[in-house]
Amino acid sequence: MSNSSNHQISFEQPNSSHGIYFIRHIVNFLSLAVAMAGVAGNVINIVVFTCQGFKSSINIAFLALSVSDLVTLVVLIFYIFVAWFEDTTSLPILPRHTWHLVGWLLYALAFNNCSIAVYISVERCLSVALPLKVKAIITRKVTVFSVVLIGSASAVIVLPALTAFELKRMTSDDNATDVAIIVLDNFTHRTVTYFAHFVLQ
């Protein structure tokens, strides 16, 4: 990432009405409340599954799902706070660009969560269809390998898109320097990286 370039930027206030802002803040508040409840629930799940031990392969998958969901909610809470304070000029990063970056991170985490949930569903189906063989088919090593493979795949599919971001120093109207995450201006680079992301899916 490069941080040597200086650019002149202006922090403009959005033109939305006060009613839209009020509704958006209500939605942000409710989303934050739900996300905080989810964080608490996932922390409890992690403690419970850890105390139960990992003799059962399904506990490993449930723990991985809880950890992944916890990380998703933490990122989402950050996203909510950026949206909440988008009208301020004191943020060290530009909200509109942060939304784009965090959106890709949430996409990767959502893919990871869904894939682990599918793995758990397959394991449960095999437990019903092949109750005497399921433990030999889905062992703890198989579960750990599957969780690591899913996490790696989730990172790889968004990696090309994340290369379209660059960290630069940007100067506001009052000559105060802020660090901002911005999308590269190179249209060809964006096109290639997004196409690579599409192919990897």
pLDDT digit string (tens) for 80-91?
Answer: 877 776 655 455
Amino acid (one-letter) located at 70 = L
Asked if residue 112 belongs to a domain, the reply is yes
Count of domains forming the chain: 1
Q: Which of the four pLDDT bands, split at 50, 70 and 90, describes residue 6?
A: very low
Q: What is the pTM of this model?
A: 0.73
What's the pLDDT score for residue 105? Answer: 86
Asked if residue 114 belongs to a domain, the reply is yes
Asked if residue 179 belongs to a domain, the reply is yes
DSSP string covering the chain: -----EEE---PPP---HHHHHHHHHHHHHHHHHHHHHHHHHHHHHHHHHHH-SSSHHHHHHHHHHHHHHHHHHHHHHHHHHHHTTT-S--SS-HHHHHHHHHHHHHHHHHHHHHHHHHHHHHHHHHHH-TTTHHHHS-HHHHHHHHHHHHHHHHHHHHHHHTTEEEEEEE-TTS-EEEEEEE-S-HHHHHHHHHHHHHH-
Residue range of the domain that includes 155? 6-200
List, for residues 148-187, the tens digit of each pLDDT value.
Answer: 999 999 888 887 777 777 666 665 555 555 555 555 555 5
Asked if residue 87 belongs to a domain, the reply is yes
List, for residues 42-77, the tens digit of each pLDDT value.
Answer: 999 999 999 988 888 889 999 999 999 999 999 888
The answer to whether 56 and 143 have CB atoms below 8 angstroms apart is no
Asked if residue 1 belongs to a domain, the reply is no
Check which CATH number belongs to the domain holding 163 and give it.
1.20.1070.10
